[in-house]
Chain A
């Protein structure tokens, strides 16, 4: 008697460990994928590999010393990170920042947004498989901006340039001319990306419909920045709660429609154009001379007791600093609300049901900086 072979086998999902040392995870990030063939069934992100306790370290340091650590939480947009921190300190000390310092801060923050988005464009290109070409093109624009940052602040990434009260020192005399030069290079870079990727059929086919997230879900996850604007939520701290001089310049909040990977890319591209627009207006309105710090600044800054939450729009979303002070020269408690951490939580919802290769693209599209996630 011949027994029928059992054709029905029990199947099992395979656990696939991506990271922490994986080039496409943008740092030390580990995700455990549960895959059925090529399809992702479940995704568990593991964070914390880059935790250095920056917030706790800041509690043992005075306000000036903390600035350097804020740089290192968000190293691709350090001006924005510093800005939140010094604005929180200023709010507790009632320091009036001179107008010129505010304009310069705004220009530098927008330039930093440009350089950060350039970095996104290049790294995202690698993630979707346009290897190296956009990455190197992004470097042309970014290099021009970073050279400018170096002339202004002395360092290329860890600036330590904003101080409670204003700026550490004045910008170079040819600042406006140098910004204009850098903007010309940056605009060319944006144009290159637009013609190279935006309408490229291969790129569009690769990214459209991948990693969709609806507006309601994005709000539930607490996403912010270009990642939520791509889903059609016009959320922008610069417009909702204008800080610095954002209420005096005209620009548009870029909003996407579908909330997929392509929209997240395209929102950032258009946002770069808006940044250029903002910087051009700033250069017109900025006074050439004037103080960059209040007349009398104490040698050692002491804040009043109290607590404050200050949020600004960093390139990746809302970067907030919650500062509790009990008086004295150092924070009692400091908490950084990082946009990347909130955006990363939605990763599972965006990737489940897609291919493994798409999960990498989704991760790239929310533009994570792991040092900001883990702090």
Chain B
């Protein structure tokens, strides 16, 4: 009986403790900056075009082959009277979020820091009614960065804090 009494006391003592429950849909806990949901593309606000040049590096490194990349000649390049120094630029980009396994490899291999993992709640709450709605295109991938809604975190592999 002593053991049962002690275990009941343990249960009772939790009444005096601070609640740890987060009422999730009503309350979104702050996410750390390192949090990673799904990949998205970043927007170069200086020149007003995506950073991505469509070099296929992320597509080739992806372990689950969830990306499709197509590049084109940049219509805004200096040689044709534009302002950008990017000769090639992304034309079409699809990411199948249903396939993505969020391994961060695409971010690591990108030479232009053009891709980052979404670290906002938008990236986590992605439920849809149809599986094919999870294949997102270039426009959707760029929206958050263009609207400056994301404080992206692009780690350099092996870098220390100092």
Residue of B nearest to A291 (CB): B160
Given A158-B101, A168-B104, A195-B6, is A201 in contact with B1 using a C-beta cutoff of 8 Å? Answer: yes
Hey, which chain B residues are within 8 Å of A200, CB to CB? 3-4, 6-7
Nearest CB on A from B156, distance (A): 7
List residues of A (244-298) whose CB comes within 8 Å of B's CBs.
Answer: 289-293, 297
Q: Is A151's CB under 8 angstroms from B32's CB?
A: yes
Q: Is A150's CB under 8 angstroms from B32's CB?
A: yes
Q: At the interface, yes or no: A308 with Cβ under 8 Å from chain B?
A: no
Q: Is A169's CB under 8 angstroms from B35's CB?
A: no
Residue of A nearest to B156 (CB): A169
Hey, which chain A residues are within 8 Å of B7, CB to CB? 195-197, 199-200
CA distance A173 to B32 in the complex (A): 13
Q: At the interface, yes or no: A140 with Cβ under 8 Å from chain B?
A: yes
Q: Is A158's CB under 8 angstroms from B102's CB?
A: yes
Q: At the interface, yes or no: B110 with Cβ under 8 Å from chain A?
A: no
Hey, which chain A residues are within 8 Å of B35, CB to CB? 150, 154-155
Q: Is A65's CB under 8 angstroms from B34's CB?
A: no
Hey, which chain B residues are within 8 Å of A289, CB to CB? 160-162
Hey, which chain A residues are within 8 Å of B11, CB to CB? 133, 196
CA distance A169 to B160 in the complex (A): 7
CA distance A303 to B61 in the complex (A): 18
Residue of B nearest to A61 (CB): B63
Hey, which chain B residues are within 8 Å of A72, CB to CB? 101
Nearest CB on A from B56, distance (A): 16
Task: Please tell me the number of chain A residues within 8 Å of chain B, measured between CB atoms.
Answer: 47
Of A68, A165, A192, the residue contacting B10 (CB under 8 A) is A192
Given A65-B103, A153-B34, is A169 in contact with B157 using a C-beta cutoff of 8 Å? Answer: yes
The interface centre, meaning the residue of B4, B156, B160 with most chain A CB atoms within 10 A of its CB, is B160
List residues of B (145-162) whose CB comes within 8 Å of A's CBs.
Answer: 155-162
CA distance A153 to B155 in the complex (A): 11
Hey, which chain B residues are within 8 Å of A153, CB to CB? 34
Q: At the interface, yes or no: A187 with Cβ under 8 Å from chain B?
A: no
Q: Is B157's CB under 8 angstroms from A168's CB?
A: yes
Hey, which chain A residues are within 8 Å of B103, CB to CB? 65, 67-68, 158, 160
- Taking Cβ atoms with an 8 Å cutoff, the residues of B that contact A are 1-4, 6-7, 9-11, 14, 20, 31-32, 34-36, 61, 63, 101-105, 108, 117, 155-162
* 6 interchain residue pairs of minimum CB distance: A293-B158, A199-B3, A65-B63, A68-B103, A154-B36, A169-B155
A sample of 26 cross-chain residue pairs with beta-carbon separation below 8 angstroms, ordered by A number, consists of A64-B105, A65-B61, A68-B101, A140-B20, A150-B31, A154-B32, A154-B36, A154-B104, A154-B117, A155-B36, A158-B102, A158-B103, A160-B102, A160-B104, A167-B158, A169-B158, A170-B160, A173-B161, A196-B10, A200-B3, A200-B4, A200-B7, A201-B1, A289-B161, A289-B162, A291-B160
| Known pairs A155-B35, A167-B158, A200-B4 / 5 extra A-B pairs, C-beta < 8 Å | A65-B103, A163-B158, A168-B108, A195-B9, A200-B7
